[in-house]
Structure 1
Amino acid sequence: MARDTTAQLAVWNEYLWSVGDQGDPYALILRAPDDPYPLYEEVRARGPLHRSALGTWVTADHKLSSKVLRDRRFGVRQLSGEKAIESIEFDNSMLGVDPPDHGRLRKLAIPAINPGQMESWRPRIETYTEELVEKFLAAGGRANFMTAFAQQLPNYVISELLGIPDRHRPAAFRLTRRMARMIESEPTPQLVEDVTGSVAELYLMFEDIIALRRADPGDDLVTQLLPALDEGRLSKAELVALCAFLTLGGVETTVNLIGNATLLMLEHPDQFEMFKGDPGLAPAVIQETLRFETPTQQYRRIVQEDLELAGQVLPADSQVAICAGAANRDPEVYPDPGRFDITRPPGRELLSFSLGIHFCLGAALARLEGEVALAAVARRLPNLRRIGPIRRRKSYVIRGMLQFPVAA
């Protein structure tokens, strides 16, 4: 890694800890504590929008967050084209582009993963889920729930969706886990270098898969997008980047949704008993998990022009941090927000999959996988219990676990 980047990272990390030591709640959130929710309340107490000592504008307000996510005056790229030193982006993917390219790429991908088509995946997801449960029980019913179950289902589904051949699946799984570290707190030069390398490896793998699908078409997303590639509506670099992005984005949220929902069931035995009595409550379990312990805790947007927001003047290129984990617990929107309740009546829209033009393409699929997985836990693993301490991800963006030891 270049020496100047290493120096930048060191300066950034030192500055982050210095500002946090002075009591800035957003700087403390970026340290990725195990329990960020008290810090979110400190952010909320400072008003709908306030400027952190780090220079970032921060909001925990549901109404204001919804407005920013829908407002085209906020984008995902700086006007200068520079990247934040603590971030890694997929070049040419929807993750890092604004209109008009974002709309073009999204329009091409939507037919393959629209909510209407996702329901047709239910039988395959149910079959594979049953296989995972059987494997877990056959191994003695004791395991790290994250590696034995929560990670396996989304990786299987995204591999099927993208048409990843069996021989490539172990590498795709390994690279996805490496890439997921890009959202870890306090990036080091070694971490950035490893993540950059894993992205490059995944790109090469998908170039091979595109060639394979051209020779042997299937019913997968890559095959469906080949005509757009041949007609010039999509470049090869964009197709590769889209596949790489979906490999990570289509897995990471769902892994943590399944893990978080299962942990919440075990931590709230009365709710779990209710759920075991009626596995049809799975959609309600997933909905309340998305609100109470959303896997994606934060979004960032860049101001594209000078504007006024919540009584503050924000210059172009300012960063706005949207604390979705806090907005989903806004007491103005969700009564008694700190209570986990699967019987909670449907309320205002959640921010768990973003809103506006960057609303998560795979939201319906993630919900479906979560519902199938949790219904299987309720039916097949009624005596599931935690048998050791959990270890959480060290990330301010992703709320999830690395270790979740359970026994059936």
Structure 2
Amino acid sequence: MTELEAERRARYQATVVQDFLRTAAAGGDPYAGILLVPDDPYPLYDEIRARGTLDRSAVGAWTTTSHRVANQILRDRRFGVRRADGTKAPEFMPFDNSMLGLDPPDHSRLRKLATPSLNPRRLTHWQPHVERFTDELLDEMLAGRDRVNFMRSFAQQLPLRVIGDLVGIPPRHRRLFFRLSRRMAYLLDGVATVAAAQDAMAAITEMTVMFHDIVAERRADPQDDLISDLLPAVDDGRLTMDELVPLCMFLPLAGTETTVNLIGNGLLALLGHPEQWQMLVADPSLAPAVVRETLRFDTPVQQYRRIAHTDIELEGRLVAAGEEVAICAGGANRDPEVYADPGRFDITRDPGPENLSFSAGIHFCLGAALARMEAEIALAAIAARVPDIRRAGPVRRRGSFIVRGMLQFPVSLR
């Protein structure tokens, strides 16, 4: 099959899938509607919730928006991100040897090796770096035009600068790392055009070459970063180079995208609720509450997939081995059984149980503490230095049912 024929076939298959989803959604299947990526998926989560704590969608996956059931599944070792025989599900194909696409024991081994570099206690070392990067970006933003795309000018830049230092990307590679990371971000969306998918895979190839060069440099000159921390494990056989490079690529990618959209979604929610924005302006110490409520109210990662490794009876239903469950974190974080008046953005609310924005169980996000810290510092600094910031036009969202965020968020700064 030629490349052109393969592309035509992929386009045809994508059209067939879209037609099937539209038909299913028109027939009343809310999960099919979510997969069509509406601007506002939250009413569809309510429709799934009305069907019960565990529902079978016409697309074949089980679905849940119950916080209790979602939390239970994420912590249940009978579910995994791969099939019971170890083969990977199609959506994890690009992540091969990274923790995102592995189950125990390999997942446990890699997580144990990476955890010290992202330990919350060690992150205190990175706080001054985050504060400095935040001030630099605000200086650049305020020195430019009065109206900017907040995502491009700030939200996308801060996490990439932080992760560049944390992972150990030398300055001469930073620009390429930033550019390749943006191209690879499509892999997290769950949907993409044929051209975008091909470009993302090409970016992986380029970044693999880059990281082999960086690893060689760090081996000769170790620094205080993730790569240098992990090299001894390569030397003593606990980690292979084929595992180190994907770990250094995809762990930062997943964490960066979460942080980008946490910052963007947080500012969007605040500007949509002026009285709460003014509360933060008057008291920047409210930033942790803003971040916590943003994670619950407008979850950056909307869903996770888990595959049953054995037949499991759950909520009076039988989930057969090999079947998938779509855990709708965006819906679970608005479960009225857990959060009062869940559709209301309120930074003063009682926090209640931990939201599921960083997953739970063995796949709980290693970078959760870093993401929270970055968002707290960023939003507090914006409130202090740009108190008159306001939305300046319609936003354009990412075409993703997994990552909820924006590509364009125009704001006026003065």
TM over 0.5: yes
In the alignment, structure 1 residue 154 sits paired with structure 2 residue 167: no
Alignment of 1:209-248 (within 5 A): 209-248=214-253
Partner of 1:193: 198
Partner of 1:3: 6
Whole-angstrom CA distance in 1 between matches of 2:355 and 2:68: 11
Partner of 1:281: 286
More displaced stretch, 183-192 vs 316-325: 183-192
Partner of 2:361: 356
1:66 to 55, 63, 71: 71
Please list the CA deviations of residues 56-79 of structure 1 after superposition, one character each: whole Å capped at 9, or x if unmatched. 000000000000000000000123
Provide closer, same or farther for how the CA distance between residues 94 and 186 of structure 1 changes in structure 2, counting only shifts above 3 A. Answer: closer
Whole-angstrom CA distance in 1 between matches of 2:130 and 2:292: 19
Whole-angstrom CA distance in 2 between matches of 1:376 and 1:394: 29
Whole-angstrom CA distance in 2 between matches of 1:381 and 1:36: 31
Calculate the aligned-residue CA RMSD, in Å: 1.6
After TM superposition, the score normalised by the length of structure 2 is 0.95
Q: For residue 349 of structure 1, what is the amino acid of its counterpart?
A: E
Does structure 2 retain, via aligned residues, the 8 Å contact 1:44–1:60?
A: yes
1:174 to 175, 179, 190: 179
Partner of 1:18: 23
After TM superposition, the score normalised by the length of structure 1 is 0.97
Partner of 1:115: 120
Provide closer, same or farther for how the CA distance between residues 218 and 186 of structure 1 changes in structure 2, counting only shifts above 3 A. Answer: closer
Partner of 1:30: 35
Q: For residue 131 of structure 1, what is the amino acid of its counterpart?
A: E
Whole-angstrom CA distance in 2 between matches of 1:342 and 1:282: 9
| Count of paired positions | 408
Alignment of 1:39-118 (within 5 A): 39-79=44-84, 81-85=86-90, 88-118=93-123
Displacement of 1:106 in angstroms is 0.1
Does structure 2 retain, via aligned residues, the 8 Å contact 1:37–1:326?
A: yes
Q: For residue 370 of structure 2, what is the amino acid of its counterpart?
A: L
Whole-angstrom CA distance in 1 between matches of 2:41 and 2:251: 27
Partner of 2:266: 261
Please list the CA deviations of residues 158-214 of structure 1 after superposition, one character each: whole Å capped at 9, or x if unmatched. 000011011111111111111111234643332322222112221111111101101
Alignment of 1:303-322 (within 5 A): 303-322=308-327
Displacement of 1:88 in angstroms is 4.2
Partner of 2:137: 132
Displacement of 1:128 in angstroms is 1.1
Does structure 2 retain, via aligned residues, the 8 Å contact 1:43–1:58?
A: yes
Displacement of 1:18 in angstroms is 2.7
Provide closer, same or farther for how the CA distance between residues 85 and 3 of structure 1 changes in structure 2, counting only shifts above 3 A. Answer: farther
Q: For residue 77 of structure 1, what is the amino acid of its counterpart?
A: R
More displaced stretch, 271-280 vs 115-124: 115-124
More displaced stretch, 141-150 vs 105-114: 141-150
More displaced stretch, 357-366 vs 393-402: 393-402
Percent sequence identity over aligned pairs: 59
More displaced stretch, 187-196 vs 349-358: 187-196
More displaced stretch, 273-282 vs 9-18: 9-18
Whole-angstrom CA distance in 2 between matches of 1:335 and 1:407: 33
Alignment of 1:321-360 (within 5 A): 321-360=326-365
Partner of 1:394: 399
Partner of 1:405: 410
Q: For residue 3 of structure 1, what is the amino acid of its counterpart?
A: A
Structure 1 residue runs of 4 or more that deviate by more than 6 Å after TM superposition: none
